[in-house]
Amino acid sequence: MSMEQLIDLFELADKYDVEVLRKYIDRAFYRLATHHLDAFRANSKHQNTFYECIARTCGPGALQAADNRLQSTVIQLCCEYCRPLFRDWRFLQLYNEGELFDEKQAIALLQLDKRIRSNNYYGIQSSKLDRLWKYPRITRRDWDTKTRNMFGLFNDGRFSDITICIGGGLKIFAHKAVPASYSTCFQKKLERTPSIDSIDLGIKGSHAAMKAFLKDFYMTDTYSESECSVQFYADLYLLATHLGREDIAPFYLDRFSALLSKEPFTYDYIACLETNCGPVYSRYSESTLSEVVFQQVLHRVRSLRESRDYPPSYFARALQCGTVFNGRFAARFASEVLSSLVMEVQRT
């Protein structure tokens, strides 16, 4: 019996709600598809009829079954055999033409990819209690190869199905399934208007940071090049919090804090204080960044109390001019300094 015949039987079993038969067909399909894909992996010239099965179960014209276990199995197989599939021009052609996956299944494929790369693969397996076998483990090397392929798609117009405008007339060629699989914000936008082919971020900030932020969707590891500035990570953090990337925002915040702690008390450092904690409102003022900056400067002031350079001249002048802190932070800073003085007097 062929894979397509098994799909026909599954549709009948779904129509007449025969649970036992659906389970049996799902298992049989997995065995047959695995055998077929193993042969295809060994010889790429082997006729691959699995693509028709993908289209029938997960494509835009697929029958919407009440039981989606066969769809899940097909997605699982795509992940397991990603290397031979992603190297096959016919797979890429059919995918680019939108014949293999509807948007929901494409997003599911990317989400499963994300869970596998975060070492939750066995958790996925154990949830399928009706399986009588274990799926082969996907190695880190397999996914490193896939990641390189994914990164190669960044800002590549050949397979793009959406453009993301980042301001200044700049556009990034993207793929709906990629941002939707990581960002709740993108997912909601695409669910509301699935046919949309362009999104304007509508957020002020560095164009370089916006491009780096979008690039992170296609990377295994986060963007952490050494030449990134404190302000660069501040922009990345705001983008992550505004655009629903809760997974990566803490990383940007940690990098921001680490780089800020290494900054000397110079005009650039004072400018950073004024931007985040100063009396002039900025888009950073209401974010977590302002509190991080304030705690950093408090720590520095405490550690410099025994130094001859205390307070640093740049900092002292800025404090006198009232440009470093807004009213809220100025009051807290004064309270902290006063408390330190009281404790010092009490010790002597």
pLDDT in tens, 8-59: 899 988 888 888 888 889 999 999 999 899 888 888 777 778 889 999 998 8
- Could you tell me if residue 183 is inside a domain? no
Question: Could you tell me the pTM of the whole model?
Answer: 0.55
Note whether 147 and 19 are same-domain residues: yes
What does the pLDDT look like over 252-264, one tens digit per residue? 888 898 888 888 8
Note whether 20 and 143 are same-domain residues: yes
Which of 120, 151, 182 is the C-terminal boundary of a domain?
151
- Could you tell me if residue 320 is inside a domain? yes
Q: Which residues of the chain have pLDDT under 50?
A: 112-148, 224
- Could you tell me if residue 175 is inside a domain? no
Note whether 112 and 220 are same-domain residues: no
- Could you tell me if residue 212 is inside a domain? yes
- Could you tell me if residue 95 is inside a domain? yes
Note whether 250 and 131 are same-domain residues: no
Note whether 146 and 212 are same-domain residues: no
What does the pLDDT look like over 177-199, one tens digit per residue? 888 888 888 888 888 888 888 98
Note whether 144 and 8 are same-domain residues: yes
Note whether 240 and 319 are same-domain residues: yes
Note whether 210 and 277 are same-domain residues: yes
- Could you tell me if residue 120 is inside a domain? yes
Which of 136, 151, 166 is the C-terminal boundary of a domain?
151
Note whether 225 and 146 are same-domain residues: no
- Could you tell me if residue 21 is inside a domain? yes
Q: Report the 3 state secondary structure along the chain.
A: CCHHHHHHHHHHHHHCCCHHHHHHHHHHHHHHHHHHHHHHHHCCCCCCCHHHHHHHHHCCCCCCCCCCHHHHHHHHHHHHCHHHHHCCHHHHHHHHCCCCCCHHHHHHHHHHHHHHHCCCHHHHHHCCCCCCCCCCCCCHHHHHHHHHHHHHCCCCCCCCCEEEEEECCEEEEECCHHHHHHCHHHHHHHHHCCCCCEEECCCCCCHHHHHHHHHHHHCCCCCCCCCCCHHHHHHHHHHHHHCCCCCCHHHHHHHHHHHHHHCCCCHHHHHHHHHHHCCCCCCCCCCHHHHHHHHHHHHHHHHCCCCCCCCCHHHHHHHHHCCCCCHHHHHHHHHHHHHHHHHHHHHC
Note whether 141 and 265 are same-domain residues: no
Number of domains in the chain: 2
Note whether 251 and 321 are same-domain residues: yes
Note whether 25 and 123 are same-domain residues: yes
The domain in which residue 253 lies consists of 206-347
pLDDT of residue 132: 29
- Could you tell me if residue 324 is inside a domain? yes
